[in-house]
Amino acid sequence: MTRKKPKKSKARERIKAKKAVPSAPKEGAKRELNISAIDEGTVIDHIPTDAAFKVVEILDLENHKGVVSIATNLQSKSIGRKGIVKVGGKSLTQNEVNKIAIVAPDATVNIIKNYDVREKIKVKTPDVIDNVVKCSNPVCITNNEQVATKFYVVKKDPLKIKCHYCERSMGKDDIEII
């Protein structure tokens, strides 16, 4: 069975993506879009550019069987330079959306169906982060025994979290994903 692609929607998503691409040197021929549209899946937009690969890590996309496109250093009016991650054939759970907030508090998650944005979800930093982040304290019990880590969010912007076990606080820069 062949699926009829709704042209309008496809165009809409492409346009959105094009707007996001900086096409760094302006002169010369028209630039082609370097991150393609997806028909079904999830687009995570407005990621701080240095956190795009962390999002890939958090969602374990290295092991994802569908298409994954990653773009960084795109221009964004709201956050300066941004990253985008497009994941074909995957819908995110609320838990996964919350995890993204740890590294990308301003990200938006767009659910794509038939090349159309069906839903836009603004990520929300969770109050508790279970088993996502590694404690930066080498003498924390979680780094020495098989224990799932747990952090409380003390401050959302800039992100500050506190280890449930050793009680050390960590800033955004110390955060390492498990």
Least Cβ distance, residue 139 to other proteins (angstroms): 5
141 near other proteins, judged by CB under 8 A: yes
C-alpha torsion angle, residues 143, 145, 151, 157 (rounded to 10): 10
Burial level of 139, CB count in 10 A (0-12/13-18/19+)? exposed
Nearer to other proteins, 15 or 141 (CB): 141
The single residue among 79, 165, 174, 177 that binds other proteins, judged by CB under 8 A, is 165
Residue 82 near residue 20, CB atoms below 8 Å: yes
Task: Give the one residue of 57, 69, 169, 174 binding other proteins; rule: CB under 8 A.
Answer: 169
Binding flag, residue 176, other proteins (CB under 8 A):
no
66 or 171: whose CB is closer to other proteins?
Answer: 171
Question: Do 23 and 31 touch, CB atoms closer than 8 A?
Answer: yes
The full length of the chain comes to 178
85 bridge partner residues: 44, 70
Closest approach, Cβ 101 to other proteins, in A, equals 23
Tell me which of 137, 153, 156, 177 binds other proteins, using CB under 8 A.
Answer: 137
Footprint of other proteins (CB under 8 A): 137, 139-142, 144-147, 163-169
